[in-house]
Structure 1
Amino acid sequence: MDTATVSTTSASALARKRRADAFRANWRAFAKQPGGIIGLIVLIIVLGLAACAPLIADVSVLDPTNAQGRPFESPSSTFPLGTDYLGRSVLPLLIWGARTSLTVGIAATLMSMIIGTLMGLLAGTLHGWRSAIVMRVIDFFLIIPGLVLAIVLGAVLGSSTFTIVVAIGVTSWAGTARMIRAQTLSLENRGYVERARALGASQTHITWRHILPGVMPLVLANTSLAVGVAIISEATLAFLGINGGGISWGTMLQQAMGSGAAVAGFWWLIVSPGAAILIVVLSFTLVSRALETVVNPTLGGR
């Protein structure tokens, strides 16, 4: 083995060790945030229930023709969370609804983060009229009412899970783009970026090798918070009648309100999905705050 190969192997091993050390250090910082740990545990439990929904309750329980109880039965030992207006048990509906709500929330957030990160990098690294055009596009999506645009997209594209994901993802990236742009402009003036530019590195190389890794921790911290916002958006759209046709926490609320559960006092039909949304969104918020502390250690004392 020649000297060049040995040097390359040593450099790769050193890089892996540094990444492992950084991961352990970040995990220790995260573990010092009790709220973040609690939120993470709750999310793992909810994700596990959603992933194992077919094992916990067969999909046939969602079929109204297979309803095992009477409509609007209150919580009991047979139906821990009661039944809905069709006589279906609310508990399996809640578990299956988690699959749709979490899928839409995570997929829409990934779309939003990808679009927002790319647009933010473009706005921060381009100059002159090109940067102005990108900023005007960002400002347009920033000032337009996101919910109204999502409703319009849902009405135009038709009701489906893909439509909901696109509607939320396309309307929620502008804030991320603004944040990434500000961070990019800050990184552009760092010493290591100036050295890379002085050595002849192209703007593309600098963006992908130096600036993008610098903004990724901020993107990660913002992603966990954005998932909660996307879940609320999905529930709002489903409540307004724009849904993918499957069961979700939003459609459960929409069906409960449509069947007069709130007026008749069938509280379990509203409290169950509402509490699920509250708990999951709160958990994502706690994890996001903990990640923000890891990214910015100066927040640790707040």
Structure 2
Amino acid sequence: MTTSETRKASGPGAPGSVVDARALARARRRASLARFWRSYRAHRGGLWGLGLLIVFAVVAVTAPLLAGADSQSVTDAEGGPLEGPSGRFPLGTDQFGRSVLALLVYGSRISLTVGLLAAFLCVAIGTVVGIVAGHFRGWYATVLMRITDWFLVMPTLVLAIALATVMSRSMWTVIIAIGVTTWPTTARLVRAQTLSVESRPYIERARALGGGHGHVMVRHVLPNVMPLVLAQTTMIISSAILTEATLAFLGLSDPTITSWGGMLQDAREAGAVSAGDWWYLAPPGIAIAAVALAFTLCGRAVESVLNPKLGVRS
């Protein structure tokens, strides 16, 4: 084989070079994840938050095993109305005689699901709007950012209540109401990061080599804004869970499902506030505060790792 044939066989288009490139990419990803984890472990608050989230996730996944499949049924309730804590019911019962602890376990499923999905929808909308507005600029960006500003100055909770009132009462209504009203902050942050990325020299080289708008936004801009999006997501999840609890407490969620906010609404309607039945009110409120705090701690740790200039240590 001649020298030219050897170079051709080992060139960029050879199968072996493709395999080597993929292996190198995987090795870099593993090294990057290892560096991320080493930096994350330096944040004690982030570790506490992560541990608490793991506990909540395990409880949500294993809810039928921990609480029983029929624990939400009113007809199969085994206790009396509003019984206090006892060995049989560690957190007492509700007005139908159901175990508050079992309802708390099942409520983690809905609250976490709504928070995660609503945050994903919010971040997806904000990321698309921010990248498009930062890339195209011109009148496209002007229109998008004026819409963003309108959503930004409007009270988020009022808009969410209005949407949840107009639409049918279901879990998906709450998710949509939260997602379409909380994206402007993400859009603003992503647009600023997009403008910063597109001012770098390699973007000009990509355009000079024939890269179109889609290539630049997907292959160059999006990977560079993803760290910011990841940190923003962890922060938004906690606010989404709080908003879901607020909408459920106002009676705007599906009454057939059990959530922590719905438990507070049921406790209010049952007169637990005036009767002093703390075992019905305190557990869902503490659970909401704990999961919101856990996501906030994780978000601050992730943000500090991805942006070392912040210098946050917790």
TM-score by length of 2: 0.93
Is 2:160–2:177's contact at 8 Å kept on the other side of the alignment?
A: yes
Deviation (angstroms), 1:62: 1.0
Write the deviation string for residues 75-106 of structure 1: whole angstroms up to 9, x where unpaired. Answer: 11111111112211100000000001111111
Specify the alignment match of 1:22 in structure 2: 32
Stretches of structure 2 lacking an aligned partner (at least 5 in a row) = 1-7
Q: Which runs of 5+ in 1 are unaligned?
A: none
Aligned residue among 63, 71, 74 for 1:61:
71
- Indicate whether 1:190 and 2:200 are aligned: yes
Query: Displacement, 1:247?
Result: 0.6
Q: What amino acid is the match of 1:249?
A: W
Which of 27, 51, 59 is matched with 1:49 structurally? 59
Deviation at 1:128, TM superposition (A): 1.1
Counterpart pick for 1:148 among 153, 158, 161: 158
Within 2, Cα distance between the matches of 1:10 and 1:88?
A: 60
**What is the 5 A alignment of 1:161-176?**
161-176=171-186
Instruction: Report the equivalent of 2:216.
Output: 206
2:277 to 247, 261, 266: 266
Q: Which residue of 265, 283, 287 maps to 2:294?
A: 283
Cα distance, 1:116 vs. partner?
0.6
- Check whether the contact 2:119–2:179 (CA below 8 A) recurs between aligned residues: yes
Matched, 1:136 2:149: no
- Whether the 8 Å contact between 1:79 and 1:91 is mirrored in structure 2 is yes
SS of structure 1 residue aligned to 2:223? helix
**1:153 offset after TM fit, Å?**
1.3
Q: Give the Å deviation of 1:113.
A: 0.8
- In terms of Rg, which structure is larger? 2
Supply the distance in 1 between the matched residues of 2:134 and 2:119 (Cα, whole angstroms).
22
- Choose 127-136 or 273-282, whichever is displaced more: 127-136
Q: 1:147 to 1:23 in 2, by over 3 A?
A: same
Q: Which amino acid aligns with 1:255?
A: D
The Cα of 1:147 is off from its aligned counterpart by 1.3
Instruction: Tell me the distance in 1 between the aligned counterparts of 2:312 and 2:159.
Output: 40
Quick one: which of 250, 257, 261 aligns to 1:250?
A: 261
From 292, 296, 300, the counterpart of 2:307:
296
Q: Is the 8 A contact 2:198 2:221 kept in 1?
A: yes
The code of the aligned residue for 2:261 comes to G
Q: How far apart are 1:301 and its partner, in Å?
A: 4.9
Identity of aligned residues (%): 50
How far is the alpha carbon of 1:120 from its aligned partner? 0.6
How far off is 1:265 after superposition?
0.6
What is the aligned length?
Answer: 302
Shift of 1:297: 1.2
Counterpart in the other structure of 2:97: 87
Partner of 1:221: 231
Q: For residues 61 and 202 of structure 1, what CA distance do their matches in structure 2 show?
A: 56
| Aligned-partner SS, 1:64 | coil
**CA distances 1:143-187 after superposition (whole Å, capped 9, x unpaired):** 122211111211211100111111111111111101101111111
Shift of 1:198: 2.9
The alpha-carbon distance between structure 1 residues 37 and 203, as it changes in their structure 2 partners (threshold 3 A), is same
> What amino acid maps onto 1:213 in structure 2?
P
- Distance (whole Å) between structure 1 residues aligned to residue 140 and residue 124 of structure 2: 20
Question: Which residue pairs with 2:3 in the alignment?
Answer: none
1:242-268 deviation digits (Å, cap 9, x = unpaired): 112301000000011111111111111
Identify, as 1 or 2, the structure richer in helix.
1
Residue 204 of structure 1 aligns to a residue whose secondary structure is helix
CA distance, structure 2, for counterparts of residue 169 and residue 95 of structure 1: 25
Matched residues in 2 for 1:193 and 1:150: separation?
39
Q: Distance in 2 between matches of 1:243 and 1:130?
A: 36
Give the C-alpha shift of residue 194 in structure 1.
2.5
TM value normalised by structure 1: 0.97
Q: CA deviation at 1:44?
A: 0.7
